[in-house]
Structure 1
C-alpha cells in the first residue's frame, strides 16, 4: 500500500473516531437543522420508571479503549453516587446507533456514561438549580475532559442546562426494586388506556 493511501486511511479512521461518543462512528449523520429553527423537548414527558432489564450484549465489555484511555465497566450500579460536570448531546447524534444498539433519540430521557452498566436508571440532579430527573443510561461517554455524564437534549432541557451547555450535577443510580409500585401503577394506566380504545 502506498504512503498516500496509508495517510488517507489513517485520516479517515481518526475523523470517524472524533465524530462523537456514539459507538458506531460510521453511522450516517442526519442533516443538521438550520439555525433559525428551534427544537423543543416535551417537558411534560414522564420520567422513565426503573425496571429490571437484561444487560446489553454490546454495551457492557469488561473494558474498552477510547482515545488511548482504558475504561472499565462496573459489574453493578448498586450504590453508585457521584457529583461532577454533565454535558449534553443532540442533533449531531440523533438517529445514530448507541452503545446498547438502538438509535439515539435526542427527545427521550437518556444518557451516556463511561462506566455504569447498560442499562442503568439514574436520578440526575442539577445542583445549580435543584431540578431533578430520571434517565436511562444506554450509551457510552462523554469522552471530553472530566465530564461524568452526557445527557440527551430532552434531559438537558428538563434540567434547564441547554444554554450553558454544562452543569454541576449529582448522579445516583436507582435500583428497579425501589420502584416496583410506581412501575405497576404505570402499567395499569397503560392497560386502562388501551382498553378505552
Structure 2
C-alpha cells in the first residue's frame, strides 16, 4: 500500500517539475542580484564564446559568468533607456566593466557615441 502512494507522489512530483521547468539561467539568477557598473559596446565578425557568429544587429551581450541564453534587462543610468539582451559571449575583460553589449543594444541604450556608460542589469524571464 505504501509503495502505491509513493509511486503516485513520485508521478505528481515529476509532472509538477515538467510543468514548471527551471532553466539553468534562472537557477543562476538566484545567485546574483541586480548589479550596476560600467558597460561598453562591441562589434566583431568572429564567433562568440557560445559558438554563434557575432551579429552587431542582434540584442546580445557578453557577461563573465551568466549561462549563455540568459536574458538581462540593461538600463542606462544616465538616460533611463532600457533594452533586453541575451548573453551569448564572455567578457568584459576590463575590470571596471560589468557587461559588454552589441552595437544594436548600445544604440537603444543611447551609448553609441560615448562608447561606454553606467548601467544596471537584472535577469528577466
TM-score range with shorter-chain normalisation? 0.7 to 0.9
* TM-score, L = length of structure 1: 0.49
Question: 1:117 deviation in Å?
Answer: 1.4
Paired residues for 1:171-190 under 5 Å: 171-175=121-125
Kindly report the root-mean-square deviation, in angstroms, between the aligned alpha carbons of the 2 structures: 2.1
2:86 matched to which residue of 1?
136
* Larger relative strand fraction: 2
| Secondary structure of the corresponding residue to residue 77 of structure 1 | helix
* TM-score, L = length of structure 2: 0.75
Question: 1:80 deviation in Å?
Answer: 3.1
1:2-28 deviations in Å (ceiling 9; x for gaps): xxxxxxxxxxxxxxxxxxxxxxxxxxx
The whole-number CA distance in structure 2 between the counterparts of 1:119 and 1:101 is 12
Contiguous gaps of at least 5 residues in structure 1:
1-51, 56-74, 176-197
* Matched residue count: 103
Contiguous gaps of at least 5 residues in structure 2:
1-20
Of 71, 78, 83, which aligns to 2:36?
83
Runs of 4+ in 1 over 4 A off after TM superposition: none
Structure scoring higher RCO (CA < 8 A, sep ≥ 6) equals 2
